[in-house]
Chain A
């Protein structure tokens, strides 16, 4: 049952023997009737549909909401693996927040010659408006989702730092609920670390960054672009679970120097806004004037200490794919330590030598848009046809600064349940990190995304990926 030898399989070693973290699970699995398990898998889908955990796929007219496929075989991480990983994540997240503070203040990293000046000044994610301003509690990126991939027993890479508005945490929580209701016996047999207090922690973490003008218990709101947004389910889910209001731009207005929401009894101030809206749409007076999703004047109130916006506007510069290649230096510069998580070697196509290399080796590389996300607009060289490669090369030459390239990583696999039994598929992992003025908290586990198509390396749900429950074992 061992997977393809050229990829690291997390469940089975080369001899087909279950690896340590999967042993108890595998014993249980071996006792199950395959037909019954397949039936359970179908039940899981019904559960998700009933709960309404759906997303809309952009660009599809018949916008029936879709389910993200769920695989019932968990991804299991040992306690010691998790300890190492979480140290690396915390280091990276602290460095990112320090970096954001620095580039909006003295820009020491540029002065020290460790980051070229144009990487900041010419970056569209850099907001002039934030220069010299320190957000409440000094936190820029409150909620971060660091995408990790694994290539070997001890080889973890940070692939992306989602420092703007990472999504997927509702799937992490619902996947666990579903597993617990379908296989309660597993959870009594195996000691698995809990994830269900995430909403409570999120509430505490956001409250800890309340603005100066907040009086009493902070009033929290989740700002959503609306019920037609692909991640609306998650926005409603989080608001519900943490006891926050779920607001849209038109529910908010500036009243007496505060951001206030229209309630049945008039306008009431909001202290902390967890926005699930890009910077561009936040304030039509400051950014896109055509935005109807944001709140006119909210930036002024923010600057005057009337409201906290999480994540802070301008945080996006830290997860920019061109900045990504500098993260190891950023960690060294602010933390005075060697980075614990590896960075994937990255060619910045804006540099002529790199561009030439990328064009010569296109069929072996993964090329991404600097500001892209969701797997859109990227090229996976080894999987692309000659025609696709040629078309992409043309795009690259036209706007090289828009792209970065990375080697195709040999992503680890975890089996999924298919009609023919277990079959290895490539996975990544997005742990969710909460940053408040006094602490960094990482929920044990995170969201495992899995490419359901055999051999595919693209795990994004918009590209046919699914998810798995992710277990971190207790010691």
Chain B
């Protein structure tokens, strides 16, 4: 069987949307934690979450203040801006319908059930009391889709397109979160060895489900430079930038082997990977963390566009 360009594109986007919905849910979870533990700082946190999601202008338009109920409903279920968790999950399902013949029944049903769940739980404005359950359900259903993908799909081009979408989106998300919070890490650079505000760094790690792993590797008091190194350069952590770009490089390599054709996107991925593998956290801080992240995000976006061209997603 050959794979249609449209199908490859549909898979790529299906898994981008799924990853994005999961990432946004995780951000909301981190924000919720702050508003529960440090009421006063919550407004600032919600603001930065909305910025990370790229929805600053859309939220300003609603005139809502930066308080949990408004922000949470805006991010979870608002259909007007098209980027809520609900919209993302619906987009993933729509793409799943388009590529229905390329995925297994298990993957399709897990995706469909994820959407049925989201539509049901997000049908009405969410009450604070229900929020933990809803966020847990989103996390669980994403895991079910991922599990079905791992357990039932052939390891062929189709699988690689799905994984490319996942890691492209995940790398972008990790970079964004770091970029929005880079100022938290920066001031402390001047005084090497200084400690950060505990809650602040915890939130960064929480929003990437990294808290446990980071503590496992760094039992003492957290230093900003260690956090940045962990999230950018630690190849063991599955949401670090280097982990994601290595995976993408690998997926593109499998495509090259399967199709017997080396394409521009493979070279591009190699370049991005080389830059990161040769980097050290000290040099990244020297050149500016923000600049580094911006360069990475642009490169990541160009890679996505090149993949789209190389594999004829649209024409």
CB distance A227 to B259 under 8 Å? no
Contact of B101 among A240, A251, A263 (CB under 8 A): A240
Contact of A245 among B101, B105, B112, B315 (CB under 8 A): B101
Q: Which of B1-9, B133-141, B196-204 contacts A (4 or more CB under 8 A)?
A: B1-9
CB distance A266 to B312 under 8 Å? yes
Q: Smallest distance from the beta carbon of B131 to chain A beta carbons, Å?
A: 25
Q: B211 interface residue, CB < 8 Å from A? A: no
Q: A60 interface residue, CB < 8 Å from B? A: no
CB distance A265 to B4 under 8 Å? no
Q: Smallest distance from the beta carbon of B183 to chain A beta carbons, Å?
A: 42
* CA A263 to CA B97, docked complex, whole Å: 18
Q: B130 interface residue, CB < 8 Å from A? A: no
Using A239-B101, A264-B2 as known contacts, say yes or no to A49 and B259 having CB atoms under 8 A apart.
no
* CA A1 to CA B116, docked complex, whole Å: 39
Q: Smallest distance from the beta carbon of B308 to chain A beta carbons, Å?
A: 11
- Secondary structure at the B interface, as helix, strand, loop or mixed, is helix
Bitwise interface map of B from 7 to 18 toward A, beta carbon under 8 Å scored 1, else 0: 010000000000
Contacts of B113 in A (CB 8 A): 50
Using A51-B109, A227-B98 as known contacts, say yes or no to A262 and B312 having CB atoms under 8 A apart.
yes
Using A245-B4, A262-B4, A265-B2 as known contacts, say yes or no to A50 and B112 having CB atoms under 8 A apart.
yes
With both beta carbons as reference points, the residue of chain A lying nearest to B98 in the complex is identified as A227
CB distance B100 to A263 under 8 Å? no
* CA A264 to CA B12, docked complex, whole Å: 12
Size bin of chain B's contact surface: 20 to 34
Q: B61 interface residue, CB < 8 Å from A? A: no
Contact of A265 among B101, B261, B315 (CB under 8 A): B261
Contact of B311 among A49, A264, A268 (CB under 8 A): A264
With both beta carbons as reference points, the residue of chain A lying nearest to B157 in the complex is identified as A264
CB distance B6 to A52 under 8 Å? no
Contacts of A51 in B (CB 8 A): 105, 109, 112
CB distance A264 to B4 under 8 Å? yes
Contacts of A250 in B (CB 8 A): 6
Q: A450 interface residue, CB < 8 Å from B? A: no
Contacts of B161 in A (CB 8 A): 264
Bitwise interface map of B from 175 to 192 toward A, beta carbon under 8 Å scored 1, else 0: 000000000000000000
Using A262-B5, A263-B4, A264-B8 as known contacts, say yes or no to A236 and B101 having CB atoms under 8 A apart.
yes
Q: A248 interface residue, CB < 8 Å from B? A: yes
A-B CB pair tally, cutoff 8 Å: 64
Using A262-B4, A263-B4, A265-B259 as known contacts, say yes or no to A236 and B312 having CB atoms under 8 A apart.
no
Q: A287 interface residue, CB < 8 Å from B? A: no
CB distance A246 to B101 under 8 Å? yes
Using A243-B1, A265-B259 as known contacts, say yes or no to A52 and B101 having CB atoms under 8 A apart.
no
* CA A51 to CA B109, docked complex, whole Å: 6
Contacts of A244 in B (CB 8 A): 101
Contacts of B105 in A (CB 8 A): 51
Using A236-B100, A239-B101 as known contacts, say yes or no to A264 and B5 having CB atoms under 8 A apart.
yes
CB distance B261 to A261 under 8 Å? no
Q: B94 interface residue, CB < 8 Å from A? A: yes
Q: B167 interface residue, CB < 8 Å from A? A: no
Contact of B2 among A227, A232, A248, A263 (CB under 8 A): A263
CB distance B97 to A251 under 8 Å? no
Task: Count chain A CB atoms within 10 A of each CB in B98, B161, B311 and give the residue with the most.
Answer: B98
Q: A404 interface residue, CB < 8 Å from B? A: no
Q: Smallest distance from the beta carbon of A52 to chain B beta carbons, Å?
A: 5
With both beta carbons as reference points, the residue of chain A lying nearest to B313 in the complex is identified as A264
CB distance B5 to A52 under 8 Å? no
* CA A245 to CA B109, docked complex, whole Å: 20
Contact of B109 among A50, A251, A262, A265 (CB under 8 A): A50
Q: A247 interface residue, CB < 8 Å from B? A: yes
Considering only residues 261-299 of chain A, those with a C-beta below 8 Å from chain B are: 261-266, 268
Q: B46 interface residue, CB < 8 Å from A? A: no
Q: Smallest distance from the beta carbon of B51 to chain A beta carbons, Å?
A: 33
Q: B108 interface residue, CB < 8 Å from A? A: yes
Contacts of A227 in B (CB 8 A): 94, 97-98
CB distance B94 to A261 under 8 Å? no
CB distance B3 to A264 under 8 Å? yes
* CA A265 to CA B101, docked complex, whole Å: 18
Using A50-B113, A264-B311 as known contacts, say yes or no to A251 and B5 having CB atoms under 8 A apart.
yes
Q: Smallest distance from the beta carbon of A220 to chain B beta carbons, Å?
A: 11
Considering only residues 119-177 of chain B, those with a C-beta below 8 Å from chain A are: 157, 161
Task: Count chain B CB atoms within 10 A of each CB in A50, A232, A247, A250 and give the residue with the most.
Answer: A50
* CA A243 to CA B2, docked complex, whole Å: 11
Contacts of A262 in B (CB 8 A): 4-6, 312, 315
Q: Smallest distance from the beta carbon of B218 to chain A beta carbons, Å?
A: 43
Contacts of A239 in B (CB 8 A): 101
CB distance B259 to A251 under 8 Å? no
CB distance B112 to A52 under 8 Å? yes
CB distance A52 to B157 under 8 Å? no
Contacts of A243 in B (CB 8 A): 1
Considering only residues 61-112 of chain A, those with a C-beta below 8 Å from chain B are: none
With both beta carbons as reference points, the residue of chain A lying nearest to B261 in the complex is identified as A265
Contacts of A236 in B (CB 8 A): 97, 100-101
Contact of A52 among B2, B108, B315 (CB under 8 A): B108
With both beta carbons as reference points, the residue of chain B lying nearest to A253 in the complex is identified as B315
Q: Smallest distance from the beta carbon of A225 to chain B beta carbons, Å?
A: 13
Instruction: Show 16 residue pairs from A and B whose CB-CB distance is below 8 angstroms, ordered by the A residue.
Output: A49-B116, A50-B116, A52-B109, A236-B97, A236-B100, A248-B6, A250-B6, A251-B4, A262-B312, A263-B3, A263-B312, A264-B3, A264-B259, A264-B311, A265-B2, A266-B312
18 new A-B contacts at CB < 8 Å, known A264-B8, A264-B259: A49-B116, A50-B112, A51-B109, A52-B108, A52-B109, A232-B97, A236-B97, A236-B101, A237-B100, A243-B1, A248-B6, A261-B2, A262-B312, A263-B5, A263-B312, A264-B5, A265-B259, A265-B261
- Interface, chain A (partner B; CB < 8 A): 49-52, 227, 232, 236-237, 239-240, 243-248, 250-251, 261-266, 268
The 5 closest A-B pairs by CB, nearest first: A236-B100, A263-B2, A264-B311, A240-B101, A262-B5
